[in-house]
Structure formats: structure tokens, C-alpha cells
Structure 1
Amino acid sequence: MSDYSSIKYDEKRNVIRNLKEKGRDWNYIATYGRNNDEELQESLDFMFEMGTFNYKISAEEWKGIVREQKEIEERAKEVVMVSGGVEQGSLEVPKHERSAWQMYIEKLRSQKWSPDAINELENSTLAILRKISQDTSETGPRKGLMIGHVQSGKTASMAGLMAMAADHGWNMFIVLSGIIENLRLQTENRLIGDLTYKTGNLSWRALNNLSKRSPLSVRTQSLSFDLNSRDRYFTVCLKNKTRLENLIKWLYEDKHKLAQMKILIIDDEADQAGINTSDIDTQDRTAINSRIIKLVEGIGKDKAGAMNYISYTATPYANVLNEAGPGTLYPKDFIGLLPTSTEYFGPKQIFGVEDSEYQGLNIIRRIGDEEIQEINEMQKQIRDYRMTPALEEAICWFLCAVSMMRNNGYQKPISMLIHTSHLTGVHGEIADMISTWLKSKTDKEIIALCKKVFEREEYQFTVNDLFDSFKGYSVKRDQINGYPKFEEIITEIIELKNQVSHIRLGDDESLEYHNGIHLCIDNCRFNGVDDENNFVRLAYPEKNRLERMDKAPVFMVIGGNTLSRGLTLEGLVSTYFLRVGKQADTLMQMGRWFGYRHGYELYPRIWMTEDTREKFVFLATLEEELRDDLQTFRDGGASPEEYGLRIKNSPKLSWLRITNANRSQGAIATDWDFSGTSNQTVVFDLDPTILKRNIKVTENLLNGLPHPEESPLNKSLVWKNVDFEMLRVKFFSQYTVSKNATALKDMDVFCEWYEKVKNEIGFTGWSVIVGGTREGEKWNIGGKAIGKITRAIKSNNAKNTISIGVLRAPADLYADFTKEDLQKAEISANSKLEISNSAVNFKREQVGLDKTPQLIIYRIDKSKNNEIAEDIIGISVVVPGAKTGKSYAKRLTIDLDRFVVGTGTDVEE
């Protein structure tokens, strides 16, 4: 088949593009509206005579060019991309064998990439390329966002885009790479390996730590950016205030060279560090954000010939909820999805998605509450570390999995992750404890422990389970390595157990690897070599060294923040994961276990708490809904400037914020689901005016209700079947929640939601409960007296604000039960009361109160806390779960009418 990608066909492609813009279909264009090839040839010859073409072309060639352009357009449409519609339609896949793109593809083939995976990458890369611009001198910078998965190969897409763009004339590439130097180096080395070839058409050069003080040989005036140059340059820059400032000065040192630059900025992990966390209603900006904007928008009238900014992330919540409009990094031109390989193990595959065929792989093992408490106590004291049951299982499984993979001939690094704390002091203690435990066990004891775990695991997750749970996994069943007989791996287990150490440093300062376990501590505290000449951090063997090793090297990695984002753990088969973030983007980025598992699909296991597993299920569901929305917006022809991306944020999971509040300042709520939620105020403003007003609002409500009953369980005051409209008017619309609270701040939205769904869900009248004590100063309400409560102050979260930890007493969740209800639910004054939503809902359903919401009120006594000038009214709102099967998800979207113009003033982060 002929190659029609050459620039000599550009004139013909321009004619084709003009015909498409006029609404002509592909059949018309292929024949140019003529009846046969003879008439078509006459028309093509006429265009040559008229000067439209600078050389003659045959009818066969014309049809070939049209056919290729049609295929390119159809492939690009397969990529989900919400955009403003501006494209460079003539750009196409470079075909020359020495082009940067084709040489990159050849490298991927050598790495055993499948043809389908390469085609997906090619299509998505072309789609992105056609959204960026080769000349922004008049229009201003092009801005886009590409959403991938954690550990899914975003770097492959970035390298591919750089290669294809370089073939089309872009000549300066800037990769913004996180805030950790070793991750920056990882990215830089990866790009050098992916892009630099001795035999290519282009000459690539990596530039590092650029500034006006750089050697003359790498200053802009010494580099070649003219149209005929084959030179291409890239730099990987930390999101660091000084480095970004130096890079900007380097770019603007020679304005003539700047005008020749066609720049592509790729913001890797774009939700990290570069988000503006200052108040977006002011002109102030965080230091890094302001410099990235300066880098993209330019300084004054001096502009690059082309400026394109593309952010890449797996967790785009901050990027699309932070701020929009001119002078921001909002992806105004396009938001797209990177394709997901059918061989990728992601959140959907591992954890499952609510109400879908994906129910997750049976590879999650539970860490019990007692063990969590035990480890937390050890870490709090940073002493007396001892092995715990689930950690012991995870280590034994690691020994089994490594031995199986070696038995199967696996030659790449194999890893275990232990992630219990961000505290660097803890990591060394955990490492010492594990090393001591392994040494204390005899070979016979370890074999017995491993065998017990092995026999359980080979039964619980089989090849059939894999294909039943991972719909569409494209690796053939007969290529999946199964479980050998346990006796076949005993020798490997013993060898691993008996050689545990850090990576040794040789006399020539080279890293020395052995056939046992390399115990690595990866955090900022262990940056060098210890007193015994050990290299403590994680360092996998380089490719040439790895090829000379007789067995796959093994690494047990303990760490904190460096393991939470960006760092790839190769061959990860066992994970012990305790540390949990409060934000969706942070938690998802901790998932080092996502990725490709060729050759060991059956072996990965993850030990975590049930609570954490449920959070990942929610996040997997969130991610799928986000992708569905993008598909809908694309099909509807929406652009990011016209329609802000919506993100589910269900208050059913009150522990979670989609992203930090100051990273989502442009967010507005569009619809919510409060069913099944139980929230309480634990953060309070100390402004006496607010406190007094809340007391007055509360007393006005309660004194306006009929005579209360006393709870037979704990003597709390109870009003039953209270009309919601009275609560809305007299309380919810007037009670003030602290602006620093994470729950119950959106009372107006809650009231709107409740009115819409109360009949559909079938809510009854409310129970209003005043909880208190039998002793202490009394609060007289409705002709009854109840004792005020006391609560210890846990922290001062902000100026004139306090936090109390827990407000609600467990018994008050059952305070509206009658004596008969309590008997039926088997609850007494001496009962240990369940307070989980599921347990409370079950008990309330037993007695017919499963559709009765509760407003629980407490008055905190000021006399017991010197910091409090007035009594504090705290509340809890409990809404039963709806059983309609319908989802009422709160969604957040960017407020597109609210924006900040200009780069403003720097604010330190």
C-alpha cells in the first residue's frame, strides 16, 4: 500500500479539508463529484493547470489520499474527547521509518506491546495532536486535559505525543514533573530512552535545570529552533518555585529565539502542586501556580510561536473544579480520555463498580480492627514493634508469589509494598521488625506458615475467577501461569527467607544485588548510604545488569509519600496497606497495585481494611461515571468552555472529599443524594454572636413544638412526627454551621433535595431529639429540663474555631424508640449500642422507623471550657437510606461564570 503521509501531498489534503468543511461526504470527495475515473482525472489535471496543485496527480493517488484521510478521521473519533472543535485536520501519523514516531513505535514493539495497544496509542496521540496548535501567536495558548488511570502508562502517551509532535515541527518540549526529585529523574530517564536514537531523522537533546546561568552551550541563543532544523529539545522540570522562575527567564532571554519556538508543555500529575489553592476571588496565587501560568500565558507582548499546555492526570478533580476562565489553567480547549488497555488492572477490575458487572477480583484480604489499633499504637509510640497476623500473611504470600514467579522463569524485578504511615521514623522500625521476625523463624516454621497461606490463596482465586471477574481480559487463558505444587517452591522460599538485607554498595560504589530479599526504605529521610555501606532506598537494577542476573531480583519496599504518587513498583504481588487519605485524588494515587500483570495475573494480593476497600469501590464507581459523562458530552457536541465537567461526590461517604477544599474553589453543586447519611457538627466558630443566635434559633424551634416525651432508653427529650417544613423554616434555614466544617454546610441544598425526593422515598415526619446528661447544669426546654453536655476540645482548626471530635451519643440514635421498640430490637440501657449506619438502619427497620429522619440537638456547656464564651449548639442529622435502587448523586461542576483574570500576586504554598 502506498504511503500518502508525505508533505508533498499537503496541497491535496488542503483541498480535501476544504471539501469536508463545505459538508461534502467521503463518497463525493473520493470522486470529486464525477461519474468515473476518467472524468475525475480531467478535474485533477485542470486543478494542476489552474495552479491548485504544483504537480500532476493520478485518480488512483487521489483516491488513496482520500481513503487515508477518512481512516484517520474515523480513528480519531474513537477517542473520547470533549473539545471546542478547533483542529488541525491535516496532521497525520508520520510514516517515515526514521521518524521519531515510527522509531518510538518500534521500541514499543520490542517491549512486547500488542498491535491493539499500539493502535490505541496511535489513535489517541493523533487525536491530541490535532487539538493543539502550531501557531498561537494571535490566538493565545491552547489548553487541554488528558485523563488516564493510575499506573496505566500515561508516560507512554506523553512520550508518543512528543515524538509525533516533533515530526510535525514542534521543537521545544517542557515536562512539569511533580515535586520529588527521584521521580523527576525517573521521568527524564524514561523520556531519554524513549526518544533519543542515533539513526533518527531528528536530533533530540535533554536540557536540565535551565536558567540564565546555564552553560552557553544550552542557552537559547546557542540552540537552533528555525523551521529547517532537525534539532528537538526537552526539559523535565520540577514544580518548584525557583526552577520554574529560572526556566521562564531562560526562555525569554532571546526574544527572537522565543518567537521561533513551537512549545508543548506537558504537566505530568497535573493535580499535584500546580493547582491554585489561594482564594480565587482575589488576585493572589500560589507561587507554583502563578509561575506555571506565567510560563503558559507569556510575559507582556513577547510570545512563543506556539504555546500549548496539556495536563495529564489520573485524578482530575482539582483540575476541573479549581477555577475557570482567562488567565487560569482550566482546560478550555479539550478534555479527553486516554484509552484503557484490555490488559490493564485498574480500579474497576480490582475493586469493582457499584451496580455493574464488575464486582472486583477476589484478591483483597481484610486487616481487622484489632490489628489496625495495634499497629497505630506501635506507630504512635515508635517502639515495641511486633509482627501482626495480616502482615505475617502478606509476607508469607510474598515469599510464595516470588517463588512461583521464579519457578515460571520470570526475570524482571518483583516487589512488595508496605505502607502504614507517612512518618519517616516509623519506616525504619517496621523494616527492622520484619527482618528480625524472618531471622527468628526456622525454615520449618516459615514453610508451615507459607503453606497455610498458599493453600488458601490458590483455592480463593483461580483462572476461572480471573476471567469471570475481569470482563474482556485479552490475554488468552492458556497463557496464564497457574499455581505450581507447593513442594516445587519450597527451596526458593527458604533462599529468600535466609538472605534479607538492604542493597549493598560495592567498592566501586555500584549497587550489588543478591538472590534474597532486598529490604528498601523509600522516603526523604533515607537519601544516601547508611553507616554499613548499604543503599537503603529502592533502586531496581538497570536493564543491562538485569539481563545478567540468574534470578528475578526481589524487593520489599517500606515507605510513605514517595510511594503515594508516581513511583512505579515493578512486579508488585503483595501489598500491606494501612494509610488512608481523606481525599479521593490522594487515595487513588496511593494505588501502586494498578497496572499490567503479564505473566503473574493470579498472584497479586492486597491486605487492607474493609473501610478502605469500600472507599476504593466508591472511587472506581466515581471514575466510571466521570468517563460516562465525558462520552455523553462528546456525543452532544459540548466544549469545556460551555459545559463544566461534573463529578460525583456522594455525602453517603462523609469521610471523603473529592479533593481539598482550596483546590476545588470553583465547584458548585448541581444535585445531591443525602439518603443513608449520618452527619454531625464537630467544628464550631467561636463568634459569640453566632453562638447566641444558634441558641435562640434552637429554643424558638423547640419551644414551638408540642410537649416532648422522655426517651425510655436514656431520658433524652423526643418530639415525634415533626413536619419538615417547620424544621426548614424555623431551623435549617437559620442555624449557622462553621465555614470550616466538612459536613452539614449545605443546608439549603439539603432542603431542596429533601423536598424533591421525600414523597418518592416515602419519608415520614421527623424525630427531633435533645440529648443531654442527667447531671450538671440544666437546659429548660418545653417544660422539661435536661443537662447540658461537655465535650473536650481536640484542636483549634483555624482562627476562632474549635473541633470537639465526636458530638453524638450512641443511645440518641435510638432515643425515639418506644419501650416495645427497644424490646423488639433487643436494646436495653446496658446494651453495647451499634452506631454504624448499617446497624442503626437495621434496628430502625425492625421497628418501622426506617423512613424516619432524625434531628439530634445538643447544648455544650461553656462553663467547662475556658475558650468558649457562649454555649454551643451542636446537631446531628440522620437520613435513612432510600431503597428505591435509584442513585441520587451529588455532582460538582466548575462555575464557568466565575473566573480570575491575570496572574495576580504570588502566595507561598
Structure 2
Amino acid sequence: MVSGLFVMFADYAKKFGVEASKARLQGDLPDEKIAELAEQYENAVAKVHSGGPLVIAATHHEPWYSGAGDDSIFWNPLKQHFVSDGWSEDRLDGLDRASDHVVAHTPRPSKPSFRAKGLVVGYVQSGKTTNFTSVIAKLADEDYRMVIVLSGIHNGLRRQTQKRLDAQLRSLNPDRWMTLTSEDKDFIKPTFSASAALSSDKSLLAVVKKNAAVLRRLVKWLEEPGAQDALKTARVLVIDDEADQASVATNQINPLIQKILGYMPRSTYIGYTATPFANVFIDPSEKNDLYPRDFILNLPRPDGYFGPDKIFGRDVVETDDSGRALDGYDMVRLVPEETVGDLLPLTKADVPGFTPAITDELADAIRWFWLATAAKRARGLLDHSTMLIHTSVKIDVHEAYREPLEALRRAAISQIRSGGVALEEWRAHWDRESVRVPAEDFGRVQTSWEEVRAHLLNVVERTKVVLDNYRSADRLNYEGEEKVVAIAVGGNTLSRGLTLEGLVVSFFVRSASAYDTLLQMGRWFGFRTGYEDLPRIWMTEALVAAFRHLSTVEHEMRADIDYYQQQNATPVEVAVRIRTHPLLRVTAKMGAAIPAYVSFAGRRLQTRYFNHKDAEWLERNLEATRRLVERVARSHAEVKKSSVTLYRNVDAAEIVQFLEQYQVHEESTDLDTELMRKYIAKQQSSETPSLSKWSVAVVAGEKDGKTEIVDLGGLQVPSVVRARLREQGKTRADIKTLMSKVDRALDLPVPLAELRLLREQDLTAKRNEDDELGKQGLLVVYPIDRTSKPQNVHSKTRDPLDAVFPVIGIGVVFPGDAAEKNRIFATHVAVDLKNVEDAEGLEEILESDSESEA
């Protein structure tokens, strides 16, 4: 139980600092008691700052927040609301700590002026709204008088957010909130003035779209007489939900957000996003922009969360100890490229009169949706169940899907009712598909066909075909008492922010070029408690590859944020680092590329793609490697380490010459040999020179006579085996992973057996700490057997390499701290901000407000 004295001490210390609180009690309490209260307060502040999500904070931040008190007006009722909803103690404690961390990195509320900007990075469909609702409650307890929530660009998400905040904030304290918006209406000018509202004893709450018409009305209201005087003292919190959407990259919305914040000398702006690609590409030198210069907080991945890596897998990254790529669950089914034209119009001219076909893959997806929903019912999961069909942003295309889908539903009802052979096809489908992701993997018992069949007819009969777009009157609505079973056809309104309740199946053939657009389209990410084995996704092979690459980039970006927190980097320093991430350089052909700086410090790069059917291309790489090894072997002693031949202290000129001659496949975007050569030159001429010397390692395969021997400048090397991934319609080979974990430290004077016991980061640290190798690069050469076969002869994911010539793969290891400042200028980076918003009619969406035209 917290004493009344401590509550009084802490309240004053939060506002004015611990020394001021001590001075205030001087003479009224013994010095020992005052010291005890101060220590208790400082311990509470320290506890809030420890043990929660990792935060990158500005150096000027002053710790002040000691947590919500037992008498908190807004947080305690919200906490009890979650308890009533059945939240476990662990889950509630995690939310409490995570939201405490966000609040703790806002400015001390008593400061006469502050304009703080932060960013909270969560996961798609993972509870960001619950986090910022908790932050709102806790800052309302600290006397923030106005809360503006910028909630995406679509009506559906705004209404969904309004409904949640009404239930979790306003209805729990109806006498203490004054709402400026409602579930039905976005912001329109109230009958009362802003100065009167801000002078009342209530906190203001507005949930508004990022829409120019709406924001102009809000600006106009804040410009009324007296409002500016009231805002001088009022603490204002602006929550930017989906902060990467519209806020950063649009001329309509960004200036209006800036203008609103400009009227508020005591404001805290916190962006929430699962896709921070656009936010971290804001130029942090622009003082008035929305860059999160005060803090960047990385929310932990919730237990039971299905992210892109669980579904699509990801490639190996530098922080992985295993050195092996990760495969996702077998939940993805391919849509052949040749059928895409049957599912969506390929050109604008094809849109009028377009009639979609129910292809075999679409029919399979819909049938599985019904089977999986019936299985959910058999497991006692009686909540909503949804299928997403996302092929086009064109509203006419959405409408064209209605009748074919209704016809399919009528035919399914007839089949199920008739039984016999027709129903056996459904059984075969269930038996075939359900075993591909075993329920036992998630601690569940597999549902039998008999259990599924008992619910199947009812599920199909109850299914509604719903068109969901920003013009549609027929929208997804989960608010009624009856649980929804819906096949939702839509575009952008379904692809960002809006929660699709009980999502089971996604049929997704739409393309998108921007990283954040792709990731936000992943409505299938989230929690699937009780039916983890049932979700499925249908998409083209190109989209599968894009999501897998995105999964890798996202994982590495989050790892970078965590790493720089550990290195005590500031948000501005992180901006530079993430902006220059080599893996983000993937849009050379976009034509709308953005200049940036690139650093390779601390990076391990490797080839994974090869033109395995181009004999001339392969031969040029082999000849470049032969010339390198021949030159190096003439002037350097050869060191043998197990299956590795090592040459030390090789001049950088030899490496640069090799990189001029060696060809990298165009999809190996992180291995830009031109940029690497520039970076090597830059490092040699820096204040603390490095990369003047290199190690060259040649990795051999087993000497068992089963692989071909490759002549590398007189060095006879047994080839390594690297089979290629099984992919349809690809003219290049993808081996996924070339290097093993220990290969990044092959030149350390340590036996390979000892290196294998170390973690990836320990290998990196050990090499960087070496007096010589800490300044040297490492080039690793791998002759690959052209006939490489999968280790598992029954592999369903690998095929023989089947190259027409010996293949040479390379790995390049750069020394140094990944946070170092030496960078070289590149001409393009991956985040194409002009393509972040690709919604049909985006100008109309951002400029006109269909909810609240005044």
C-alpha cells in the first residue's frame, strides 16, 4: 500500500523534480523521512525505465514518470476494464509496463513549453491501439487536457478507433471527457469555442481522419479568438495511428498536422506504426517535421503473434546464431501468374465490363474458408469468421465479384445438401489440406471430418458476400449480436488498419511496390488463438518472395533499433543508420529513387542469386576468381584451417580489382560492388583508416570424390554443395543461404571447432576486437558444384542446382561497428515514398470527407 505522503511527494516531483519536492517538505518532515520518500520516488522512476520495451531516447530527456498511482482517475478504470474482459495478469502487466515506457519518455508535464515527437513501432494487428489507449489514460492522469487521435485515412478505421476509445475511455469516465467526434461523425465545428472547451474541467477527445477537409476544420476551430491563449497552458497529446500513412509523404496532410502542432506550445506527438520505413526516412535535420527526435520505442512481439516470418519465413540475418534461414508454416498456396488476368484487369482499359473468373485456386480458397470456419465451430470458436479477397483497388472490379461469388455459394449449398460424391470432394479437400499444418504443432487436437461436416452447411448458408471500399454502403460490420461469416472483397479499406475479425483465408494477387504498403496489406498477421493451424493465404509467387524479403528487412530493422538502444544512440543517429541500410537499396529501377548514404560497417554480405543457365556469365566469375587466387597465392603464404585455405594481409587493391570483375545478379541488391569499392576507398582515407588489408578465404567442400574439383589459379578445390529453392518460372537460381555462421570469422587465429561454439554477435565482437583483423575486411570464396542436389532427396522445397558451369559464390565481411559515421553516397534507396500511397482516388480520399461534410 502506497502512503499518502509518498503520493503527495511523487505528484509534486513529477511536476517540478525531486529536489523541488524535497525542498517543499523541508521543515515539515524530518530529513530522514524526506530522503526516504525521495529514494522511494527515484526507485519508482528507475523501475519504470527498466524491464520494458527497448527505447532509443534523446540525450536531453529528463526522467520524471514514476508510474500511475493507486488513485489514478483514468488508468485504473481502464485497467479494471481489461480485467473484466478476462485479461491475464501477465498480459495486463506487459501492457502496463509498455505504456509506462512510452509515457516515461514524454517531457515533464510542468515544463512551460515542449514540443516532443516520438515513434512507437509495433506489429501489424498486434495491439497498438490498446497501447496508445493506455498512454492516453496515463497522460490524462498527468493533466493533459486535449487528445487528438489521427486515425488513418478511411472512415472504417476512424469509426473502429472511435468506438474503442468511447468504450475504454469516455464511458468509464463520462463526466471527465468531452468528445469532439462520434462514431457517426468526424470533426465538424462544435457549437462551443475552443477556448471555452479548453478552459473547462474536462479533457477533450477527438478521433479524426487524416483528411484535408477534416483537418482544415480543426485548424479553423483552433484559430478562433481566445483559442491560442488557452493552448499556451493546455497540454495536448496527438496520437498518429498508422503514422507512416499520409502524415509523412503527402503535401495535403503533413502541412496541416504541422500547423495544428504549431498552435500547441505544450504538445507531445506520438506516431504509432508497424511499418516505420517512411518515418525513418524523414530528414531529421528538418526541425519542423515529424521525425521522432525525442524517442523511438520498439514494442515487444506479443506471445502467440503470427507475423510475416511465421508465415513466409525469412532469410538469415547477422544476429541469427544458427546461420540458417527460417521457413514459415506451410500456409501459403500459389496463384499461377497466367491466371492473374482472369482475376483482375491488367490494364485500365480492361476495367469497364470486367468479369472475374472463379479460377481453380479461388474456388479452393473459398472452399477451404468454409471448411476451416466449420472446424472453428466444431472447436467451440463461435466468433466472427472472415475471408479476404484482395485483387484490385478498382471499385468496379469489387462489384463484378458479387454475382460469381453468390453463384458459387449457391452451388456449394446444393453440393452439401445432396451429399454423395460431391460431398466426398469436400472431405478429400479437408483431409488433404488439414495435415499440411498439423493442429498438434500448436498443442491442439486435429478436428475430424465428421466434426467439420456437422457445421458445414450452416456456415455456407450464413456466409455473406460483402464489398468493402470507401464508396460502398455495404461494409463489414461486426457490431451486431449475430456472429459474422463473410467473404469480403475490397481494396485499400481492407488492406490497412482495419481489423478483419476472425480472418481465416486471404486471396491476394494485388501488387504493391512500397515496403510499408506490402506489410500493411498483411491483414492475416495477428492472433489466431484456437485456430492457429487453419489460416491460409493464396498469392502469386512474386508476392510470396516479396513478403519473405520484407520479413527479413523488417526483422533486421527491428534488430537495429534494439541494437542502437543498447549502444545509447540517439534517435537522430538511428535515422542515419536505418536510412543507409544496404538491404533497403532495392529500387534501382523505380525511377523515383531517393539519394542516401550507405555504410557497410559491421555487415556480412553474401550472394544468393545466380544466372545458373548463363555459361558466359558464370565463366567470367570463375575467371575473375582464378586471377584473384593466382595473384594472391604468388605473394602470400597459404594457411590451412580444416577445409579452408586462407591468405592474410592482402592489399585492398586486389579486392577492388576482383569486385570490378565479379558479376552480381541484379536481385542481390545488398551486394552492390560499385558501392563497396567506393566504401573501401573511403575507409582507407578516413581519420582512422581501415580496409587497407584483407583476408581471402577459399572454402572447400568434402573430399569424398562426389563433387567436382574446381581449379582456382592452381589451387584445386572440391566444390561445396548448395541446391536451389524450388520456384516456378524463374530463370535464375536462389540458394537462399551461402555462408555459415562461423564464416564471418574464418581469419581469426582460432580453430573452427571453437568458433562454432560462439554466437554470431560474439564472433563479430571477437573479430572487431582483434588489433589487426578489427580493421581488415574478409572475402570468402565458395566454388559451388554445378550439380548440387538437396540433402534430402525427397525435399519439397529444393531442386538440384543444375547449372551449366561451375558457380562461384562470395561472402564479404566488413569490420567495425554498424553505427559508425563513415558512409558513401548512394543514388537510390528502397523506400519509394511516392508509391507509399497507391489507393485509387487517393486525392479524393484525402481532400473530401464523406462522414462530416459541413
Tell me whether the two structures share a fold, i.e. TM-score over 0.5: yes
Instruction: Tell me the TM-score normalized by structure 1.
Output: 0.65
Residue from 378, 399, 402 that aligns with 1:428? 399
Could you report, residue by residue, the CA deviation over 1:765-799 in whole angstroms, capped at 9, with x for unpaired residues? xxxxxxxxxxxxxxxxxxxxxxxxxxxxxxxxxxx
2:55 equivalent in structure 1: 81
488 and 106 in structure 1: CA distance in 2 versus 1, 3 angstrom threshold: same
1:56 CA displacement: 3.6
1:840 CA displacement: 14
1:632 equivalent in structure 2: 563
Q: CA RMSD in A?
A: 4.9
2:237 equivalent in structure 1: 264
In the alignment, is residue 170 of structure 1 matched against residue 144 of structure 2?
Answer: yes
Instruction: Write the mapping of 1:278-293 to structure 2, written as runs, cut at 5 A.
Output: 286-293=251-258
667 and 143 in structure 1: CA distance in 2 versus 1, 3 angstrom threshold: farther
1:718 CA displacement: 13
Instruction: Write the mapping of 1:192-203 to structure 2, written as runs, cut at 5 A.
Output: 192-197=166-171, 202-203=176-177
In the alignment, is residue 620 of structure 1 matched against residue 594 of structure 2?
Answer: no
Residue from 524, 532, 537 that aligns with 2:475? 537
1:668 equivalent in structure 2: 597
Distance 2:511 2:574 in 1: 33
In the alignment, is residue 369 of structure 1 matched against residue 301 of structure 2?
Answer: no
2:281 equivalent in structure 1: 321
Corresponding residue SS for 1:236:
strand
Aligned residue pairs, count:
679
1:195 CA displacement: 0.5
Contact kept, 8 Å, 2:247 with 2:253, in 1: the verdict is: yes
Corresponding residue SS for 1:264:
strand
2:832 equivalent in structure 1: none
453 and 833 in structure 1: CA distance in 2 versus 1, 3 angstrom threshold: closer
| Counterpart residue identity of residue 520, structure 2 | Q
Mean alpha-carbon deviation: is it higher for 835-844 or for 457-466? Answer: 835-844
84 and 659 in structure 1: CA distance in 2 versus 1, 3 angstrom threshold: farther
Distance 1:895 1:295 in 2: 38
1:368 CA displacement: 4.4
Distance 1:6 1:633 in 2: 35
Corresponding residue SS for 2:599:
strand
759 and 458 in structure 1: CA distance in 2 versus 1, 3 angstrom threshold: same
486 and 721 in structure 1: CA distance in 2 versus 1, 3 angstrom threshold: closer
Instruction: Write the mapping of 1:717-756 to structure 2, written as runs, cut at 5 A.
Output: 748-752=674-678
| Counterpart residue identity of residue 354, structure 1 | D
In the alignment, is residue 408 of structure 1 matched against residue 375 of structure 2?
Answer: no
Contact kept, 8 Å, 1:216 with 1:222, in 2: the verdict is: no
What runs of 5+ residues in structure 2 fail to find an aligned partner?
A: 629-652, 662-666, 682-690, 700-727, 739-781, 789-804, 826-842, 847-854
Distance 1:449 1:185 in 2: 42
1:90 CA displacement: 3.6
Could you report, residue by residue, the CA deviation over 1:493-529 in whole angstroms, capped at 9, with x for unpaired residues? 12333x3xxxxxxxxxxxxxxxx1011111234x22x
Could you report, residue by residue, the CA deviation over 1:412-463 in whole angstroms, capped at 9, with x for unpaired residues? 2111111122222222333322222232342236533331222123322224
Contact kept, 8 Å, 2:145 with 2:198, in 1: the verdict is: no
2:209 equivalent in structure 1: 238
Distance 1:658 1:446 in 2: 51
Could you report, residue by residue, the CA deviation over 1:725-773 in whole angstroms, capped at 9, with x for unpaired residues? 89999x989xxxxxxx99899774153368879974779xxxxxxxxxx
1:251 equivalent in structure 2: 222
Could you report, residue by residue, the CA deviation over 1:686-722 in whole angstroms, capped at 9, with x for unpaired residues? xxxxxxxxxxxxxxxxxxxxxxxxx9999x9999759
1:76 CA displacement: 2.4
Instruction: Write the mapping of 1:842-881 to structure 2, written as runs, cut at 5 A.
Output: 845=784
Residue from 446, 471, 487 that aligns with 2:450? 487
Residue from 459, 463, 480 that aligns with 1:517? 463
| Counterpart residue identity of residue 486, structure 1 | W
In the alignment, is residue 147 of structure 1 matched against residue 121 of structure 2?
Answer: yes
Corresponding residue SS for 1:295:
helix
| Counterpart residue identity of residue 190, structure 2 | P
In the alignment, is residue 341 of structure 1 matched against residue 302 of structure 2?
Answer: yes
Residue from 536, 549, 559 that aligns with 2:490? 559
Contact kept, 8 Å, 2:113 with 2:265, in 1: the verdict is: no
Contact kept, 8 Å, 2:610 with 2:733, in 1: the verdict is: no
Instruction: Write the mapping of 1:480-879 to structure 2, written as runs, cut at 5 A.
Output: 480=444, 482-497=445-460, 499=461, 516-525=462-471, 527-528=472-473, 536-540=474-478, 542=479, 545-546=480-481, 549=482, 552-644=483-575, 646-647=577-578, 656-657=586-587, 665=594, 667-671=596-600, 675-676=606-607, 748-752=674-678, 760=696, 835-838=731-734, 845=784
Corresponding residue SS for 2:571:
coil
1:16 CA displacement: 12
459 and 59 in structure 1: CA distance in 2 versus 1, 3 angstrom threshold: farther
In the alignment, is residue 437 of structure 1 matched against residue 404 of structure 2?
Answer: no
1:334 CA displacement: 0.8
Corresponding residue SS for 1:332:
coil
2:778 equivalent in structure 1: none
1:4 CA displacement: 6.1
1:66 CA displacement: 3.9
1:84 CA displacement: 1.1
Corresponding residue SS for 1:171:
strand
Corresponding residue SS for 2:238:
strand
Corresponding residue SS for 2:163:
helix
Contact kept, 8 Å, 1:323 with 1:894, in 2: the verdict is: no
Distance 1:637 1:890 in 2: 13
Distance 1:650 1:638 in 2: 16
Distance 2:591 2:578 in 1: 14
493 and 82 in structure 1: CA distance in 2 versus 1, 3 angstrom threshold: same
Distance 1:271 1:17 in 2: 35
56 and 5 in structure 1: CA distance in 2 versus 1, 3 angstrom threshold: closer
Mean alpha-carbon deviation: is it higher for 181-190 or for 644-653? Answer: 644-653
Corresponding residue SS for 1:386:
coil
1:889 CA displacement: 14
Could you report, residue by residue, the CA deviation over 1:636-662 in whole angstroms, capped at 9, with x for unpaired residues? 2221134435338887898x5599987
In the alignment, is residue 311 of structure 1 matched against residue 310 of structure 2?
Answer: no
Distance 2:186 2:823 in 1: 36
1:264 CA displacement: 0.9
Distance 1:388 1:632 in 2: 47
270 and 457 in structure 1: CA distance in 2 versus 1, 3 angstrom threshold: same
Contact kept, 8 Å, 1:412 with 1:553, in 2: the verdict is: yes
In the alignment, is residue 109 of structure 1 matched against residue 70 of structure 2?
Answer: no
323 and 11 in structure 1: CA distance in 2 versus 1, 3 angstrom threshold: closer
2:638 equivalent in structure 1: none
1:233 CA displacement: 0.6
What runs of 5+ residues in structure 1 fail to find an aligned partner?
A: 22-46, 278-285, 299-303, 467-476, 500-515, 529-535, 681-710, 734-740, 764-831, 850-877, 899-907
| Counterpart residue identity of residue 324, structure 1 | P
Mean alpha-carbon deviation: is it higher for 590-599 or for 454-463? Answer: 454-463
1:689 equivalent in structure 2: none
68 and 134 in structure 1: CA distance in 2 versus 1, 3 angstrom threshold: closer
1:293 CA displacement: 1.8
Distance 1:200 1:596 in 2: 31
